[in-house]
Amino acid sequence: MAQILGIAILSIILTFILIVPFIDFLYKLKLRRQHQQTVDIFNKPTPLFDKFNAWKVGTPFGGGLLIIFIVTILFLWSLAIFSVPSNFWQLFTILFTFISFGVLGFYDDAKKLVASSSKYPFFGLRFRYKFIIQWILALVPAVILYFHLGYNSLFIRGLGSADIGFLYIPFAAFVIVAFANAFNIADGLDGLAPGLLLICLVSFLAISYSIVDQSLGIFIAILIGSVGAFLYFNIYKARIWLGDVGSMSLGACLAIIGLLTGKPLAIAVIGGVFVLEVGSSLIQILGKKFLKKKLLPVAPFHLYFLKRGWDEPKIVMRGWLLGVFFALLGLFLAFVN
């Protein structure tokens, strides 16, 4: 435990040291939100979102790049320096998911800057194709979990363990894709998604400690430190955002952590606020697609409260409190006999 706490502190310090010059670097790259309208997955304008986020124009995004860099380097260094016994396929699964979804997210971030220019016709991938790529990326760790790490069952409290065999692969891929998009959707308010992530990570750190998975615990601790330091600069009014590079990477990574702990259903409870966010958006999308009308007044979940006149910090802090409740409930379900 001392090693885990020490490496988390080191992660906090490194992120604090590097993040201010990194913010300045993003300004020089002009990697910040431009004066333009956003669109939904049907390429239709989102006036309500633009109304509540117009004041954020000019804030740099791409903070996820720094988190991915620090966590990856520090994780590999920690495993070497502490001689931590680890499974190659487990390490590959964690880092592949963490980095590959970050690369896809970075493409989305870059697209925001150059999509309107005819000089870069290769930017402008439609949501359906990006969704397919997400599934391809998610199937890689899902296959490894099943064939190389032996994951093939679901534990349901009160019913016991159910061996689902080959179906574990599409199930795991679905969890990864769902949380990558859920985190991306929740990252619409300053501090909301990173704060919820910290709550989830602390919960899974406790679970990893209980199953004596030292390498996974070290990764979670490093991620807690880096995301915690980032959150200091992301709370209202944010000086930097994660960007899609961070939200997609961290969402997929949260899913893979939940899967590696052997309690895949616990993540749906511990990450309950993320489930509410993606669930509300999915209901709205299906309504527009098949019924040609909105099923909810507004989606995602947090945007509804903005429309009702709640201040952004109020929504975020109450979201964190709800996240704490879900985390306690998820831990109870994970540990109770």
| pLDDT (mean) for 30-35 | 64
pLDDT score of 332 more than 80: yes
pLDDT in tens, 264-306: 788 899 999 999 999 999 998 888 888 888 888 888 888 888 8
pLDDT score at 159: 60
Mean pLDDT value across the chain: 87
pLDDT confidence tier of residue 158, bands split at 50, 70 and 90: low
Return the half-sphere exposure (C-beta side, CA atoms, 13 A cut-off) of residue 219. Answer: 25
- Are the C-beta atoms of 73 and 240 separated by less than 8 Å? no
Read off the pLDDT band of 117 (50, 70, 90).
very low
Say how far apart CA 312 and CA 317 lie, in whole Å.
9
Q: Sort strands 153-156 and 160-163 into parallel, antiparallel or unpaired.
A: antiparallel
Q: Which residue has the higher pLDDT, 144 or 306?
A: 144
Residue 198 pLDDT exceeds 50: yes
pTM of the entire predicted model: 0.91
Do 293 and 287 touch, CB atoms closer than 8 A?
A: yes
Report whether pLDDT(224) > 50. yes
Number of domains comprising the chain:
1
**Would you say residue 34 has pLDDT above 80?**
no
Domain that holds residue 21: 2-335
102-116 confidence digits (pLDDT tens): 999 998 888 766 654
pLDDT score of 276: 94
pLDDT at 210 over 60: yes
| CA distance to 171, 177, 285, 332, per residue, from 164 (Å) | 9, 19, 30, 24
Q: Which helix (H) or strand (E) holds 153?
A: strand 153-156
Lowest-confidence region among 136-145, 176-185, 269-278, 282-291: 282-291
Backbone angles phi, psi at 158, to 5 degrees: 95, -20
